[in-house]
């Protein structure tokens, strides 16, 4: 079976999951964050190499302060509880997104976890936190402009692959498959540049219900796709096609 090397996930639907069970939205976030460990184990077991998770967008700051605080509290708890196991399992953890608006204690924990796992090779998980695709591109463009002004690069020589190194997923293969749970068919400012040729899969279930079976379905969907990258159909023409007159 054709397995995606890199899966990007918009973990959406925590609030609606909670509403369905008559619970506060924040419990949906707790349940959602608890799904992450299982996703890593399952994806790793199925042969995936990289997972990039959308945990908090640059736009999510416009939510109620209480909800944001709770969400970050659950994230910190995840880091505290799971760092050891992630490291033991050979998982490298990176955080992508802005760092200038996050609290000091969370930032310290993020940096420690990145440092602890930086030499791991079995699996990579990127957690997108205060991440926006537009900001990623703008931030990269500014850094590139700075390097050009400092004469470290020659603008005429910059190609797409060179520019992609200025983005957060610096040097990593682009996602092959994007999964967005809860039935919303939009990208919501996730990896705008990097998803240019990804396959898109939109399961109806809310993120807290995304289990092993759901992941298997997503990978099955991906494995049946023929990715053409702009080329024409690579299959051989069937007998008869050649004689067909237009
Ligand atoms: C996704 O779930 C988590 C974040 C955006 C932080 P939501 O909180 O967006 O849940 P819904 O979409 O309102 O159900
Ligand atoms: C996208 O979900 C961001 C995350 C899952 C972190 P949102 O719930 O914020 O997206 P919209 O507002 O429905 O587009
Ligand atoms: Mg949502």
Where do the domains of the chain lie, and which CATH numbers do they carry?
A: 6-132+174-223 (3.40.1180.10)
* Residue 141: closest CA among 128, 124, 122, 158: 158
pLDDT at 145: 97
Atom index in ligand 1 nearest the CA of residue 10 equals 1
Instruction: Please state, in angstroms and rounded to a whole number, the distance separating the CA atoms of residues 246 and 60.
Output: 53
Instruction: Please state, in angstroms and rounded to a whole number, the distance separating the CA atoms of residues 140 and 153.
Output: 14
Q: Which residues pair with 177 in a beta bridge?
A: 7, 199
Atom index in ligand 1 nearest the CA of residue 19 equals 14
105 C-alpha vs ligand 2 centroid, how far in Å? 25
pTM: 0.94
pLDDT at 133: 98
Instruction: Please state, in angstroms and rounded to a whole number, the distance separating the CA atoms of residues 243 and 235.
Output: 17
Residues contacting 178, CB < 8 A, separation 6+: 7, 8, 9, 10, 187, 190, 191, 195, 198, 199, 200, 201
pLDDT at 76: 98
Q: Using most ligand atoms within 8 A of CB, pick from 11, 14, 184 the residue to mutate for ligand 1.
A: 14
Instruction: Please state, in angstroms and rounded to a whole number, the distance separating the CA atoms of residues 193 and 219.
Output: 22
pLDDT at 72: 98
Cβ(128)–Cβ(56) below 8 Å: yes
Q: Please give all residues whose beta carbon lies within 6 A of any atom in ligand 1, as ranges.
A: 11-16, 56, 60, 71, 182
Query: Which segments of 23-122 are extended strands (E)?
Result: 50-57, 91-96
For 187-220, give one letter per residue: b (16+ CB within 10 A) or e: bebbbebbbeebbebbbebbbbbbeeebbeebbe
**For every one of its 246 residues, what pLDDT tens digit does the chain have, with 9 covering 90 and above?**
899 999 999 999 999 999 999 999 999 999 999 999 999 999 999 999 999 999 999 999 999 999 999 999 999 999 999 999 999 999 999 999 999 999 999 999 999 999 999 999 999 999 999 999 999 999 999 999 999 999 999 999 999 999 999 999 997 999 999 999 999 999 999 999 999 999 999 999 999 999 999 999 999 999 999 999 999 875 555 554 445 554
62 C-alpha vs ligand 3 centroid, how far in Å? 12
């Amino acid at each position: 079976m054709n397995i995606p090397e890199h899966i990007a996930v918009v973990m959406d639907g925590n609030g609606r999951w909670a509403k369905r069970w008559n619970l506060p939205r924040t419990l949906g976030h707790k349940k959602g964050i608890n799904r992450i460990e299982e996703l890593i184990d399952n994806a790793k077991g199925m042969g995936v190499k990289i997972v990039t998770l959308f945990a908090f967008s640059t736009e999510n700051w416009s939510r109620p302060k209480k909800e944001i605080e709770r969400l970050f509290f659950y994230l910190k708890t995840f880091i505290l509880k799971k760092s050891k196991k992630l490291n033991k399992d050979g998982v490298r953890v990176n955080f992508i997104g802005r760092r200038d608006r996050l609290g000091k204690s969370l930032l310290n924990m993020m940096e420690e976890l990145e440092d602890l796992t930086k030499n791991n090779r079995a699996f990579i998980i990127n957690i997108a936190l205060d991440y926006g695709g537009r900001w990623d591109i703008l931030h990269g463009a500014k850094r590139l402009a700075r390097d050009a002004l400092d004469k470290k690069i020659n603008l005429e020589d910059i190609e797409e692959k060179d520019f992609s190194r200025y983005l957060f997923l610096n040097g990593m293969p682009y996602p092959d498959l994007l999964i967005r749970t809860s039935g919303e068919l939009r990208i919501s400012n996730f990896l705008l540049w990097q998803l240019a040729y990804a396959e898109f899969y939109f399961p109806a279930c809310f993120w807290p219900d995304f289990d092993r079976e759901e992941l298997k379905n997503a990978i099955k969907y991906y494995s049946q796709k023929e990715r053409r990258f702009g080329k024409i159909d690579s299959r051989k023409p069937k007998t008869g096609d050649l004689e067909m007159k237009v």
